[in-house]
């Protein structure tokens, strides 16, 4: 994308969030430790995050964006010296749906992860060694509690919006469940109130693949080398579930890597080569133990049965988005979110977008999302500025 | 099921095929070796098979039943001293759709397998050691060629029917492609003319899981112990794809193994325990190298583009069956088989059966299949007996 200065940008054009850097918040104020759902505590806790745009003087334009399983705080713009933009760069920036000319966008990483926040690969202050499996079990609610400390630190009373896809959507839902008074609106995308047994099963097979690798060493592999082969297989399973039958057909069909089929167990088909490539890349950037902890947090997550909206005074507005070809987080799961909201008279808009990209659609199917999110945020923002809360 | 003698069975009741045993055919006649599609040869070749019912004097009532990836020759009845019946016992026996009071049913294993037929775990006569990866690459057409030698040995000129689900359906299709004059009718169930990239991807991840296990030792694990952990993960992946989202919800939902969720990486949910159980059981009965060879044969299989019916004189009748919730072999793949048949003016009936069982439906969804197959076979049989070939 051509970079232009603000003055010469034609109306409607979108630009990059520019050069950004990841920041870190460590809970320094008492209580320094974070009390977890399991009953255990952990501390000190560091959270990696990025921000784009400027916080209004009245601190009313903050949007919290949340990432999926293997994502990180780097959602938009570019890091100095790097070419690849953040994972949701198409959606966040000046003139983009999460318009940084208007909104102050925060993207927060999660505890349990390996992207700058406290997780199993962090040093346990009690032992001076990485936590490994001594790291306590964390839930989506624990992740959100840590993020709340970040929002407290920024002195933001109420977020204009929390938004995210997949596990990011779970966090958005959890924000409403835990702190409804602090969330003006929410955009859960391609997500669910709880994992189905099929979703749990795919995660469990991925975990089994990691733990079956002798290099996993019961989690104590730091300084030796992580279980790359098991983690790569786990990621390959993931990638199949992120795509759709149709998108794989369009992308690979039965094309061969070489001109003729080779009678051996190498990657003969392009789709095999793609999976190998994805698996090999992933192990360079993600910690196997974090994969175990985070997938378990997703499986444990359950806001069904009235747990999403347990306070009748909730006035959070919702935009719920699903994608037609997403079979990992099927549309019926988003519809169930909407059903729960409507039962509690919550203002909710639902849209099932056409897409062949499967679950990946929340990252790559831009057009439909752009329009929906742009208008939803604008209406929420205007409502917030025109009075104490949103007016229809 | 209550066992009764033929005389007292009420009309329509079905009984077991009784005590059966697996037999073995070794290609002893020249050419002893089987020429393979890859250009290599293999010999001697042994094929495990079972038969149920009696071959007519005119040898016109033989039906060949073919099994899926991990199946074996034991399709019906019980082995002496064993309680579990064969894998398609509900479909094969006196009074059952494959009625052994009327038909002579043969179930043949495949080369490349590990259930009594020559495969990578068999002894290489040249070295006196197991073939391991020295075993040549085999295709579905090679499997069918070996089966043709068995049918030759039985002096059966023409099979009344070839039938099977999943990879069994591929073999049935390949029989028609390779030897149309020897197949009066075919029943391919829950199968495809070729694997989609998604199907290849699931197989490839399974293979990668096996080959990632250090116990695989590049295939040379015989006498030491096979790569159980990698093979178990491969099988768990398989089981997810054999079920449907709905059938998993009905079978497991989010039920826990214990009363409360445990904050650890054991199997907490019932669905996890089920997958562990299936994985652990599978490694006791199946050879990892066979899993590699057979899945590769399935991925290589491709009868699209006119390769199914390449001879205009084919008069094989078809009954093509798919299942609504089968997302591993979706209905559109069966519809593509039917489209290819109709284009060549082949007599084909297609039925998409309602079922929530996913791909497993071909094994467990009995009612719909029973009626369809019963009538289809009866019509084929009557047609065959009323003249030289079937009359409409």
DSSP string across B339-367: HHHHHTT--EEEEEE--SSGGGHHHH-HH
Distance (Å, rounded) from C-alpha B246 to C-alpha B325?
8
Give me the half-sphere count of Cα atoms (radius 13 Å) on the Cβ side of residue B313: 5
Token pair of A347, please? 């203002």
Region A294-300: what's the mean pLDDT? 98
Q: Write phi, then psi, for B351 (nearest 5 degrees).
A: -140, 125
Region B164-172: what's the mean pLDDT? 98
Q: What letter does residue A139 receive in the DSSP assignment?
A: -
Could you identify the residue written with the tokens 């775990």?
B121
Give this prediction's pTM: 0.95
B183 to chain A, closest Cα gap in Å? 29
Region B349-361: what's the mean pLDDT? 98
Distance (Å, rounded) from C-alpha A356 to C-alpha A344?
33
pLDDT in tens, B363-375: 999 999 999 999 9
Token pair of A56, please? 């209004």
Q: Which residues of B touch A200 (CB under 8 A)?
A: 254, 269, 271-272
Distance (Å, rounded) from C-alpha A263 to C-alpha B134?
12
Interface check B195 vs A, CB under 8 A: yes
Hey, are the CB atoms on B198 and A229 less than 8 Å from each other? Answer: no
> Which region holds residue A379: left if phi is over 0, alpha if psi is between -120 and 50, else beta?
alpha
Antiparallel, parallel or unpaired: β B34-35 and B41-42:
antiparallel
Distance (Å, rounded) from C-alpha B238 to C-alpha B229?
14
Domains annotated on chain A, with CATH:
17-195+302-385 (3.40.50.1820), 199-298 (1.10.1740.110)
Give the confidence band of A262 by pLDDT, cuts at 50, 70, 90: confident
Could you identify the residue written with the tokens 């003006």?
A184
> Which of A70, A67, A60 lies closest to A102 in space, CA to CA?
A60
Q: Which residues of B101-122 are buried (b: 16+ CB within 10 A; e: fewer)?
A: ebbbbbbbbbbbbbbbbbbbbb
pLDDT in tens, A80-116: 999 999 999 999 999 999 999 999 999 999 999 999 9
Sign of the dihedral defined by the CA atoms of residues B149, B150, B156, B158, in that order: negative
Interface check A222 vs B, CB under 8 A: no
Hey, are the CB atoms on A269 and B245 less than 8 Å from each other? Answer: no
Q: Are A238 and A328 in contact (CB under 8 A)?
A: no
Of residues A366 and B312, more confidence is placed in A366
Distance (Å, rounded) from C-alpha A65 to C-alpha A107?
5
- ipTM beyond cut 0.90: yes
Antiparallel, parallel or unpaired: β A348-353 and B78-79:
unpaired
Give chain A's length.
392
B263 to chain A, closest Cα gap in Å? 6
Minimal-distance CA residue of chain A relative to B39: A263
Could you identify the residue written with the tokens 């071959």?
B55
Residue B8 pLDDT greater than 50, yes or no? no
> Which of A389, A391, A354, A392 lies closest to A371 in space, CA to CA?
A354
Token pair of B334, please? 């069966």
Number of continuous H segments (helices) and E segments (strands) in chain A: 10, 16
């Amino acid at each position: 994308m051509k970079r232009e200065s603000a003055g010469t940008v034609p109306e409607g054009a979108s630009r990059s969030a520019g050069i950004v850097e990841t920041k870190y918040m460590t809970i320094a104020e008492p209580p320094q430790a974070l009390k977890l759902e399991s009953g255990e505590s952990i501390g000190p806790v560091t959270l990696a995050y990025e921000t784009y745009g400027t916080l209004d003087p009245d601190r009313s334009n903050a949007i919290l964006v949340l990432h999926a399983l293997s994502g990180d705080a780097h959602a938009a713009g570019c890091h100095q010296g790097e070419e690849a933009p953040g994972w949701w760069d198409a959606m966040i920036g000046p003139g983009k749906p999460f318009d940084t000319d208007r909104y102050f966008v925060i993207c927060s990483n999660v505890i349990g992860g390996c992207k700058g926040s406290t997780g199993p690969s962090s040093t346990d202050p009690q032992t001076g060694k990485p936590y490994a499996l001594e790291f306590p079990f964390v839930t989506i609610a624990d992740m959100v509690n840590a993020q709340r400390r970040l929002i407290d630190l920024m002195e933001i009373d109420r977020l204009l919006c929390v938004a995210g896809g997949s596990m990011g959507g779970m966090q958005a839902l959890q924000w409403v469940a835990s702190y409804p008074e602090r969330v003006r609106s929410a955009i859960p995308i391609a997500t669910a109130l709880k994992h189905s047994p099929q979703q749990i099963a795919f995660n469990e097979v991925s975990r089994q693949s990691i733990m079956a690798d002798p290099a996993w060493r019961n989690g104590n592999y730091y300084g030796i080398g992580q279980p790359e082969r098991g983690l790569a297989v786990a990621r390959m399973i993931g990638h199949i579930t992120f795509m759709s039958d149709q998108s794989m057909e369009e992308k690979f069909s039965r094309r061969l890597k070489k001109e003729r089929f080779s009678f051996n167990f190498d990657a003969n088909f392009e789709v095999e080569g793609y999976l190998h490539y994805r698996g090999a890349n992933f192990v360079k950037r993600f910690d196997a133990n974090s994969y175990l902890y985070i997938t378990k947090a997703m499986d444990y997550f359950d806001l069904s049965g009235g747990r999403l909206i347990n306070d009748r005074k909730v006035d959070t507005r919702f935009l719920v988005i699903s994608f037609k070809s997403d079979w990992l987080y099927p549309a019926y799961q988003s519809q169930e979110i909407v059903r729960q909201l409507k039962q509690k008279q919550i203002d909710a808009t639902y849209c099932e977008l056409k897409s062949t990209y499967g679950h990946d659609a929340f990252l790559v199917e831009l057009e439909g999302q752009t329009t929906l999110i742009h208008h939803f945020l604008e209406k929420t923002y205007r409502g917030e500025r025109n009075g104490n809360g949103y007016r229809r």
